[in-house]
Amino acid sequence: MAGRNDSMKAFYDITHELSEETPVYPGDIEPRFFPEDCGQYLLTGLRMSTHSGTHIDAPSHYLKNDESIDRIPVAALIGPCRVLDLSDVAGEISGDDLKGRIDGVSRILLKTGCNFCGRFDPGYTGLGISAARAISARGIIAVGIDSPSIEKFHGTGEVHLELLGKGIVVMEFLDLEQVPEGDYQMVALPLRLRGLDGSPARVILYDSGLPDNKIFH
Over the stretch 42-80, which tens digit does the pLDDT of each residue have?
A: 999 999 999 999 999 999 999 999 999 999 999 999 999
Split at pLDDT 50, 70, 90, the class of 37 is very high
160 is catalytic: no
- Give the model's pLDDT for residue 200: 98
> Radius of gyration over alpha carbons of the chain, in Å?
17
d(CA 80, CA 186): 6
Q: Domain 11-16+49-209 in CATH: superfamily?
A: Putative cyclase (3.50.30.50)
Domain ranges of the chain: 11-16+49-209
What angle in degrees, to the nearest 10, is found between the helix axes of 158-165 and 129-137? Answer: 10
Q: How many H-runs (helices) and E-runs (strands) does the chain carry? A: 5, 12
- Give the model's pLDDT for residue 8: 44
Strands 78-85 and 182-190, by their bridges, are: antiparallel
Which of 16, 51, 55, 61 is the catalytic position?
A: 61
- DSSP class of residue 31? P
What pTM value is reported for the model?
0.90
pLDDT above 60 (res 216): no
Percent of the chain with pLDDT over 90: 83
Split at pLDDT 50, 70, 90, the class of 4 is very low
- Give the model's pLDDT for residue 114: 86
Over the stretch 105-146, which tens digit does the pLDDT of each residue have?
A: 999 999 999 876 667 888 999 999 999 999 999 999 999 999
